[in-house]
A and B are shown apart, each in its own frame.
Chain A
Amino acid sequence: MKSQDVIGLMLRSSPCPQGEVSVSAPSFETPALRRAPQDEGGTGRSILQICALIGAIVSTTIVSLAAEIPLNERKSGYEFMGPESRAMQDDDTANPASLWVLDGEALWKRKAGAASKSCADCHGDASETMKGVAARYPAFNAARGRPINLDQQINICRTERQQATPLPLEGKELLALNAYVARQSRGMPISVASDERTRPFVEAGRTMFYRRQGQLNFACAQCHDDNWKEKLAGSPITQAHPSGYPIYRLEWQNVGSLQRRLRNCITGMRVDNYPPGANELVDLELFLMWRARGMPMEAPAVRP
């Protein structure tokens, strides 16, 4: 089993110009696992042993490089920003995301849908009832049998409770509601659930984070675990802790969700991208929130 595992690892880390496009690592490994024992010939076996050795070296290198950042060395993206951007985030009246929070507050109280209900009709005062909620998302949804993010929860409320049409992803209204809800958790520690129900999805997100993919054959971890002290095209790489989403990104001149940011990176890795709202992205969100567990929420943050 040991050497077969190593082969699996080696295959994953071998250059793959076409890119692994979807979450197919387990099925990709399986044929290799099945084929290996069928190879009875002595030459085959010695080649196998050499492969195993190379694989072991490669995998050791990967393990030593892609070490998780120790909990006490984690830094929010805030700490990588310049003083001007920090000042913008520190002052709510200078943070453009505050405009979305105000819009979200108005939407929270506005009746919508056939049920003619507002968010406030069920949830009351958001400053009380929504305190800490965004710090717990993505959260497990029993009906769907998997974790869902805050955008999806808002749209479930819209369709099921308000009997209204779901809000378009990355649209102004959904971002505004999300920013308003997330604002209520400012300063609270990120605390997504990691229990029997969510663990498989945290692990799926972790697999994606550490898996090389795309034309550039990159894993998220190569930048955000191994090289966060470095710069990419003059900009700090950062550790990829999603403590401030939705963010006002100066480059976007707009508020955007964590999924928008993830899709940015994934496009940069030249991976055939996941559509907005894809389960794979939610798993990655969940893993990243788990990875940032205990760090204070700062939503809605400003980022360059």
Chain B
Amino acid sequence: MARTLINVPPKAKKGDVIAVKTLISHEMETGYRHDNVGKSIPRDIITQFVCTYNGLEIFRADLFPAIAANPFISFFTVATASGTIEFKWTGDNGFSQTETANITVE
């Protein structure tokens, strides 16, 4: 399990634009490097990030080898209803991690 850090405001007014920030620990090994005996280090990256808000997809990103380790993804959305925001990272070697955050909309 990779360590993650999610920042979603716990409370918002209906219609507010809110910032969502996510951080996940991951090597993001590019696949272009070699070890000290010249052997190629296989690629190991996160390839996709998907965010759903009460089941509705609101943000998606494809990630590539040029993206730095420990990807930080931040975006904005509109607070529509109270509920759960779910984050899912998937990647090489069967990597998959899901985190959730709750938001109360008044």
Q: Which residues of A contact B (CB under 8 A)?
A: 88, 91, 93-94, 96, 98-99, 102-103, 250, 253-254
How would residues 6 to 26 of chain B score, 1 for a CB under 8 Å from any chain A CB and 0 otherwise? 110000000000000101010
List residues of chain A with CB within 8 A of the CB of B4. 99
List residues of chain A with CB within 8 A of the CB of B68. 250, 253
* Structural contact, B69 and A99, CB atoms closer than 8 A: no
* Structural contact, A94 and B23, CB atoms closer than 8 A: yes
The one of B6, B70, B74 in contact with A96, judged by C-beta atoms closer than 8 angstroms, is B70
B72 within 8 A of A: yes
* Structural contact, B69 and A98, CB atoms closer than 8 A: no
* Structural contact, B69 and A93, CB atoms closer than 8 A: no
By beta carbon, the residue of chain A nearest B21 is: A93
* Structural contact, A99 and B21, CB atoms closer than 8 A: no
By beta carbon, the residue of chain A nearest B68 is: A253
List residues of chain B with CB within 8 A of the CB of A93. 5-7, 21, 23
B34 within 8 A of A: no
By beta carbon, the residue of chain A nearest B72 is: A94
Q: What CA separation (Å) do A103 and B72 show in the bound complex?
A: 17
How many chain-B residues does the 8 Å CB contact rule pick out? Answer: 14
By beta carbon, the residue of chain A nearest B69 is: A253
* Structural contact, B69 and A103, CB atoms closer than 8 A: no
The one of A98, A250, A253, A254 in contact with B23, judged by C-beta atoms closer than 8 angstroms, is A98
- Work out how many contacts link A and B, with CB atoms closer than 8 A: 34
B3 within 8 A of A: yes
By beta carbon, the residue of chain A nearest B24 is: A99
A102-B69 in contact given A93-B23, A94-B23, A96-B23 (Cβ < 8 Å)? no
Q: What CA separation (Å) do A250 and B69 show in the bound complex?
A: 9
List residues of chain A with CB within 8 A of the CB of B70. 96, 99, 253
List residues of chain B with CB within 8 A of the CB of A254. 69
* Structural contact, B3 and A96, CB atoms closer than 8 A: no
* Structural contact, A99 and B25, CB atoms closer than 8 A: yes
List residues of chain B with CB within 8 A of the CB of A98. 5, 23
Additional A-B contacts beyond A99-B4, A102-B3, A254-B69 (14; CB < 8 A): A93-B5, A93-B6, A93-B21, A94-B7, A94-B23, A94-B74, A96-B23, A96-B70, A98-B5, A99-B5, A99-B23, A253-B28, A253-B68, A253-B69
Q: What CA separation (Å) do A88 and B7 show in the bound complex?
A: 13
Tell me, rounded to whole Å, the shortest Cβ–Cβ distance linking A34 to chain B: 46
List residues of chain A with CB within 8 A of the CB of B25. 96, 99
* Structural contact, B3 and A103, CB atoms closer than 8 A: yes
Tell me, rounded to whole Å, the shortest Cβ–Cβ distance linking A84 to chain B: 11
Q: What CA separation (Å) do A40 and B74 show in the bound complex?
A: 77
Tell me, rounded to whole Å, the shortest Cβ–Cβ distance linking B75 to chain A: 13
List residues of chain A with CB within 8 A of the CB of B5. 93, 98-99, 102
